[in-house]
Chain A
Amino acid sequence: MKFYVCIKQVPDVNAPLQIRDGELLQDRDRMILNAYDASAVEESLVLTEEHGGKVEVVMVGPDKARETLRKALAMGADNGTMILTDRPDLDSTAYSRILAAFFKDKDYDFICCGKQAQDTDAGLTGSMLAEQLELPYVSNAVGLNYENEKLIVRRQGDAGQEIIELPSPGLVTCSNDMNEPRIPNLKGIMQSKKKPVDSITPEDLGIDIGSIELSTNILGFEEMPERETGKKFEGDPDEIAREVARLLDQEAGLV
């Protein structure tokens, strides 16, 4: 069974960030493997460990994002491809077009993606890629099994969970609720240094990255409107509980 996992390097959303003149200032040293992608890597590894097969990771990004690709290899992926670009403003459409060009002549059973990137939370690239490759897909997977050459995907829907059979070749986008991604051990880290990584450019895939005109753009950033800090009640539990209940009724009219 051959898995490809599409991964992305993202800023750590837990790191402090600042906005100045509409620009987002972030600590560029705190770039990490997107948590949803880490779950996709983990799940592919678990399935190939059980049923046999290979896991290859692919990433679009700048050269300095290589450490993130190495992390996926240290987790246990067999090899990787780095599609190098320094262009920082690519949107989901651009990412999915580059990936679609990469996958055009590849053989695989399943492509796994994180369901969204944790910085933009857009969640578009996976299904855009599936549509371009004309693959059946399932999004927001919270569990995967493999039976009779099909992935049995547990998908979290609006109300309940759906158990969906996805034939090969197919694409699945993963939630981080499906597993706890392994932390690479020393052996994994040492081995990852010897694992093959192909470095290619979008131009190698027939895409002129400089001339891509984006149809969605970020115009700037602004702070969330601050919530006024309300009242904090400390003291006798019985008293403060009853007081807040009365205030909810009198002040907010919510009872």
Chain B
Amino acid sequence: MNTILTYISVSDGKIKRSSLEVLSKCRLEAEKNGLKTAALIVDENASSLAEKVRPYGPSEVYIVEGSEFKNHLNSPVLKAVSGAMNTIQPKVMAFASTENSKDILGALAANQNAPALPDMSEFELTDKGVKGKRPVMAAKIISRVEAVGDPVIISVRSGSYDLIESPSEPQIKKLDFTVTEKEIKTTIREILTAAGDKVDLSEAQTIVAAGRGVRDEEGRKLIDELATVLNAGIGASRALTESGVYDPSLQIGQTGKVVSPQLYIAVGISGAIQHTAGMANSKVIVAVNKDPDAPIFDITDYGIVGDLYKVLPPFIEELKKLKSN
């Protein structure tokens, strides 16, 4: 009733920055509207993570802990979050938009008989619910939307809000949770983790992305080198994930990940809207493409027209030089 609840996303035992961005924004909204800010952590080791959300000012941290959460599976998470919502009765339940929150958002909305607004780039509370903006039509335009209800469920794109510290001494409250095997129904047989998939693209500050122009081993080596110099995550366009050159989890775009790093370097990517939908919010965009008319140049801050095989070696060398100074 009087709480804005933020779901804290955990991946590999670490809290995702994007969910702390959402928590930061929710705290501002709560203060503006005389509401409480609370965080919900659903994880195998949720208790040990509570301390990590304290800097962002929740007055309560709710914990749901269990071995069922070791790997993501929607039914236990759905049961945990809907159970928490039944107990806490929040006015707004906010998520960072991730593959795992997308997995449960609709089901949670149906379960709670609540309206849902996914993938928001801006939001604020109103007397009747929540209103805000979300990119649509492959992020070509923005749709202004509202949800009327109590509670309202939303998810927020990463990079939409800044982290704001405002440390608190939250009460830690553990919520009871049990789930039977019968309730879970689906089983995880195996998890295939991408090799070298160390940098979480949705959180990366710098991304080097490869497209169709990167056509062989030599090109991939240049991408690797550039990423290493800049300490960047590597992403790819759909052309290269579909052909198996890069792992599907590295795909950036409407179908893959939506990213908003400080620096995005698009190498050999023409800039179809299905790709730009996932990266147009990057702070600074650099593109290397031999076609001077490639649409990617419409959104770049620094566009290098040239053959990537000739451009990248001196580019990398110069960056190394600048770094060592």
A: residues with CB less than 8 A from B are 11, 13-14, 17, 19, 22, 24, 91-93, 96, 118-132, 136-140, 142, 152, 156-167, 170, 175-177, 215-224, 227-234, 237-238, 240-242, 244-249, 252, 254-255
**Measured CA separation A26–B139 after assembly (Å):** 15
**Measured CA separation A118–B255 after assembly (Å):** 9
With a cutoff of 8 Å between Cβ atoms, the chain B residues found around residue A175 in the complex are: 255
27 A-B residue contacts at CB 8 Å?
A93-B115, A119-B136, A124-B116, A125-B106, A127-B103, A128-B107, A131-B110, A139-B103, A158-B72, A165-B188, A167-B186, A176-B255, A218-B143, A218-B144, A220-B144, A222-B133, A222-B141, A227-B280, A227-B285, A233-B303, A238-B310, A240-B306, A241-B313, A245-B319, A246-B322, A252-B301, A254-B263
**Measured CA separation A167–B138 after assembly (Å):** 33
Taking the closest CB of chain A, its distance from the CB of B173, in whole angstroms, is 26
Is there contact, CB below 8 Å, between A244 and B315?
yes
10 A-B pairs closest in CB distance: A127-B106, A230-B301, A124-B106, A215-B115, A136-B185, A245-B318, A241-B315, A131-B110, A160-B193, A237-B310
Most buried by A among B105, B313, B317: B105
Point out the residue from B190, B263, B305 that lies within 8 Å of A163, measured CB to CB.
B190
With a cutoff of 8 Å between Cβ atoms, the chain A residues found around residue B75 in the complex are: 136
Point out the residue from B98, B105, B188, B318 that lies within 8 Å of A127, measured CB to CB.
B105
Is there contact, CB below 8 Å, between B116 and A163?
no
For B319, give the chain A residue with the smallest CB separation.
A245
Is there contact, CB below 8 Å, between B109 and A119?
no
**Measured CA separation A129–B111 after assembly (Å):** 10
Judged by a CB distance under 8 angstroms, whether B175 is at the interface is: no
Contact status of A132 and B192, CB under 8 A, knowing A158-B100, A227-B299: no
* Interface hit among B23-31, B57-65, B246-254: B246-254
**Measured CA separation A118–B254 after assembly (Å):** 9
**Measured CA separation A70–B185 after assembly (Å):** 35
With a cutoff of 8 Å between Cβ atoms, the chain A residues found around residue B162 in the complex are: none
B: residues with CB less than 8 A from A are 11-12, 71-75, 78, 98-100, 102-111, 114-119, 129, 131, 133, 135-149, 185-194, 197, 200, 202, 206, 230, 238, 241-242, 248-249, 251, 254-255, 262-263, 273, 280, 284-286, 292, 297-307, 310-315, 317-319, 322-323
**Measured CA separation A132–B112 after assembly (Å):** 11
With a cutoff of 8 Å between Cβ atoms, the chain A residues found around residue B189 in the complex are: 152, 163-165
Q: Give the dominant DSSP class at A's interface.
A: mixed
Most buried by B among A124, A125, A132: A124
**Measured CA separation A122–B135 after assembly (Å):** 10
Is there contact, CB below 8 Å, between A242 and B318?
yes
For A156, give the chain B residue with the smallest CB separation.
B248
With a cutoff of 8 Å between Cβ atoms, the chain B residues found around residue A228 in the complex are: 301
Taking the closest CB of chain B, its distance from the CB of A213, in whole angstroms, is 9
Point out the residue from B111, B285, B297, B314 that lies within 8 Å of A131, measured CB to CB.
B111
Apart from A13-B140, A131-B107, what are 19 other A-B pairs with CB-CB below 8 Å? A92-B106, A136-B75, A138-B186, A156-B248, A159-B197, A164-B187, A165-B187, A175-B255, A215-B147, A216-B147, A217-B147, A220-B144, A222-B141, A224-B280, A233-B305, A240-B311, A242-B314, A249-B322, A252-B284
**Measured CA separation A163–B284 after assembly (Å):** 37
**Measured CA separation A140–B170 after assembly (Å):** 36
**Measured CA separation A160–B254 after assembly (Å):** 18
Is there contact, CB below 8 Å, between A164 and B306?
no
With a cutoff of 8 Å between Cβ atoms, the chain A residues found around residue B144 in the complex are: 22, 218-222
Most buried by A among B109, B111, B148: B109
Contact status of A123 and B73, CB under 8 A, knowing A230-B301, A230-B303: no
Point out the residue from A122, A217, A220 that lies within 8 Å of B118, measured CB to CB.
A122
Most buried by B among A118, A138, A255: A255
Is there contact, CB below 8 Å, between B262 and A254?
yes
With a cutoff of 8 Å between Cβ atoms, the chain B residues found around residue A137 in the complex are: 74, 107, 186
Taking the closest CB of chain A, its distance from the CB of B282, in whole angstroms, is 10
Is there contact, CB below 8 Å, between A230 and B302?
yes
Most buried by A among B141, B185, B302, B319: B302
**Measured CA separation A240–B308 after assembly (Å):** 12
With a cutoff of 8 Å between Cβ atoms, the chain A residues found around residue B255 in the complex are: 175-177
